[in-house]
Structure 1
Amino acid sequence: MDAELLPRKREVIPHTAKEVMVGAAGGIAQVLIGQPFDIIKVRMQTQAARGALQMARNVWTREGSLAFYKGSTAPLVGVGACISMVFTSFQCFSSMLASQNNSDDTKRLLFQQIYLAGGMAGLVNSVMSGPVEHIRIRLQTQRSESSQQLYSGTRDCVQKILRQAGLAGLYRGQIPTMLREFHSYGIWFAAYEFLLGQMMARENQRREDIAPWKVAGCGGIAGEVLWAANHPFDVVKSKMQTDGFGPERNYRTMRDAVRQTWQVDGFQGFFRGLGPTLCRAMPVSAGTFVV
């Protein structure tokens, strides 16, 4: 099975410029729409709670409504750049793969090639997304009371991590981040192209003629598939990135985090926080493809 995906080589530069702008706008939309769901997800992954509603209620009553946007500075700056990087890298890798195919004028990619291009774009993105998410998670999981705050803000968080563990400290949890990013973006782009291709064939329309709400629907479903398949990587990453430094460190390696999660919570431990994650995935992913 294959999918029409790419412009020809001479169109890559203007298309890439468009992807940068689309990615930046989509990244900002992701933060504004998804941040409240994300803080609930992260706290469920790293703290004891009966469910998403209980966690949301705890945040609201103990820390106030603004706590749902705690740690937003780093992703507001970084997520837009990350999404731009993903779309730009995806177009570049897709062009490289398409050039290897034997076809006429229109370059076509097999779905496994779309997955590979998306996965490689995810690896490129992990260089930036790893530290950005690490900082965000540190800020999201600290309580709002001044007596319990370890970090006063994004800059203070970065400085303290660098003092404690150097540059490697910023990249805590990078291996599960890379695994998550590769598989996530591979699935995301492949699922989106499959759904959109089915719609184009059924309605006998070109890509640019598909209604925006239908594009959003394809993007939203692709986002649900992405997170349902990759949530265990995200749980392990969150546990490693909220872990302490020095003697207070609980997880020495990704394998250690996996083992302890299994021992404490079993199989379901790898899917803690999936509910708010899926609630967040639909509007965020839909908005990214429509922007």
Structure 2
Amino acid sequence: MSSYLVSSLVAGAAAGTAVDLSLFPLDTVKTRLQSAQGFWYAGGFRRIYAGITPVIVGSAPTAALFFCSYEATKRGASKIFGPSQKSEPLGHMLAAMVGEVMACLIRVPVEVTKQRTQASQLSSFEVLRGTMRTEGFRGLYRGYRSTVLREIPFSVIQFPLWEFLKGYVQSRQEQDIFAWQSAVCGSVAGAVAAAATTPLDVAKTRIMLAERQSVQARGDVALVLRDIWSREGWKGLFSGVVPRVTWISVGGFIFLGVYEKLKPCPVIT
């Protein structure tokens, strides 16, 4: 592995851990707002750090795997498509999609354990043990498809927009972009992507929290979205949008700012 990819892995791990730990309470509030049982029955503001253990374990490797895959694919796409301005967004989209598919291999078991803990009175270990006992290893990957279907459009919006905003700022000031400027661009891009993909996030949450034998547990995203729409309308589809946008906007500032600060400039040979 090249030193640049190793640096991307380390930078991504540090950035992901910083965001997930600092903004965890907002994530708990969002999950409980999206829960079918309702915010207060899911726990309200009690045990606001419930589910943080799997996040501590999984945050760094998830973010590291994403950025390692993202940078490798972006560099590969640049060689295939060329460095033209027209092909750059395509390369960024492709890199984001590959990065998310790879990162979800770790993210989904973490999300399943975390969200079930956030919406229950059980510990993370009890949730993990119960999931393995009743659903087996496969249960940890319930919602993999819905998570990927959420993350791909999110990243296809966020990362090309982030790269575009960075390029725009850099061209306006005619010098390299600073880490804090990259962080602001990441915050704006994250907020836009978060708002647009909230219904997919709600569907993912419902699938992960659903009872084992329920229709929602089958993981059919379209069916879950139709059910939410018929029962709850727009309010249901966009439940938790404020904490989600806030979390990802602030998280984007920290995540992409820390990443940009720690990531070295690539050396093209």
**Shorter-chain TM-score: which interval?**
0.7 to 0.9
Name the counterpart of 1:239. 206
Alignment pair present for 1:15 and 2:4 = yes
Do structure 1's residue 228 and structure 2's residue 195 form an aligned pair? yes
Shift of 1:245: 1.7
Q: In structure 1, what is the equivalent of residue 103 of structure 2?
A: 125
- 1:81-131 Cα distance to aligned partner (Å, 9 max, x none): 11111110001111221111345xx99952122112111111111111111
Determine if the alignment matches structure 1 residue 290 to structure 2 residue 253. no
- The aligned counterpart of 2:81 is 101
Equivalent of residue 196 in structure 1, options 145, 151, 166? 166
TM-score for the superposition, normalised by structure 2: 0.87
Name the residue aligned to 2:239.
Answer: 272
User: Does structure 1 conserve the Cα–Cα contact (< 8 Å) formed by 2:162 and 2:186?
Assistant: yes
2:35 partner letter: T
TM-score (norm 1): 0.81
Measure the CA separation in 1 of the matches of 2:37 and 2:133.
29
1:235 Cα deviation (Å)? 0.4
Q: What's the CA shift for 1:134?
A: 0.8
Question: Secondary structure of the equivalent of 1:99?
Answer: helix
2:58 is matched by which residue type in structure 1?
G
Cα RMSD of the aligned pairs, angstroms, is 2.1
Q: Distance in 2 between matches of 1:26 and 1:212?
A: 13
- For 1:94 and 1:108, the matched residues in 2 are separated by 14
1:41 Cα deviation from its structure 2 partner = 0.6
Residue matched to 1:41: 30
Structure 1 alignment gaps of length 5 or more: 1-11, 143-148
C-alpha distance in 2, partners of 1:108/1:13? 28
Contact 1:33–1:283 under 8 Å retained in 2 = no
Distance across 2 between alignment mates of 1:181 and 1:224: 14
Identity %: 27
Which position in structure 1 is the counterpart of 2:151? 181
Partner of 1:59: 44
| Cα shift at 1:229 | 1.9
Gapped regions of structure 2 (runs ≥ 5): 259-269
Matched residues, number: 254
Determine the C-alpha separation between the residues in 2 that align with 1:102 and 1:191: 20
| CA displacement 1:165-219 (0-9 Å, x = unmatched) | 112211111211111121222222111100000000111012xxx2332121111
Q: Deviations over 1:13-47 (max 9, x none)?
A: 11111111111111211122221111111111114
Contact 1:122/1:186 (8 A) holds in 2: no
Alpha-carbon distance, 1:48 to partner: 5.8
Provide the residue aligned with 1:90 in structure 2.
70
